[in-house]
Structure 1
Amino acid sequence: MYQQMIFVNLPVSDVDVSKKFFTELGYAINPQFSTDDNACVVISETIIAMLLSRQRYADFTKKEIVDATTSSEVLLCLSAESREKVDELVDRAIAAGGSAAGETQDQGFMYGRSFDDPDGHTWEVVWMDPAAVQG
């Protein structure tokens, strides 16, 4: 069966800082699709974050590029296999130079926390009880 992929393209101020940040979260950089102007971050087999210098990002749009530290256009959400994995990833993100974003969401069957990366993009990390998903 075909597995559809998502390539999330985000503008960043410093590609090297972004590479270091996401590497510290445990993600790999695919050198085949990375240059001085961008980093290809492999989050999973089907999720890729393309971190583009603001100049390179501008090559793909005629729209104004927002400053994610002051404006929000997208909230990125990643699933986690447990509550502990939610905490582990968010804590690593904060230790690597990110910042906590929002309050912890604990509804029993669903648990989530968020962080902002060094460029202000908000990443949510959520665990949901498989039994609750099945109904």
Structure 2
Amino acid sequence: MDQRISFVTLAVVDLEASRRFYVDGLGWVPELDVPGEVVMFDVGDRLVLSLWDRAAFEAEVGERAVQGPGVLPFTLAHNVETPARVDEVLDLAAAAGADVGPATDREWGGYTGYFADPDGVRWEVAWNPGPIGLRVVPATDTSARG
């Protein structure tokens, strides 16, 4: 697995309030803005900050976001070139001792799975065929970009 982060996702209780803070308050310009679901920002070279509705976050991750026991209310994402590479990275994480969930085809067209590091931080390993997802994948395999 490359040493990098592709997305930082924060599960937020009130997406509109968070949007107002980042867009109206800080002057950030969204890369993607889906009202009621998600707001994404380009925050660096191949790095996106995603503010995601907490209920949708909990539905995809499969656990309730809480303080203390449970999954933390954010994930770190590692985007890869192909669906097969998602499985390879998850296998690598499992071999390293991570708690790994199976990868799944997502309704938005991607293929993702999750693993937890020793502290319970959730990493999403994702193949995202959309423009914003492909933008964060290193340019080592241009055939995956169509």
Q: TM-score, normalised by structure 1?
A: 0.43
Q: TM-score, normalised by structure 2?
A: 0.41
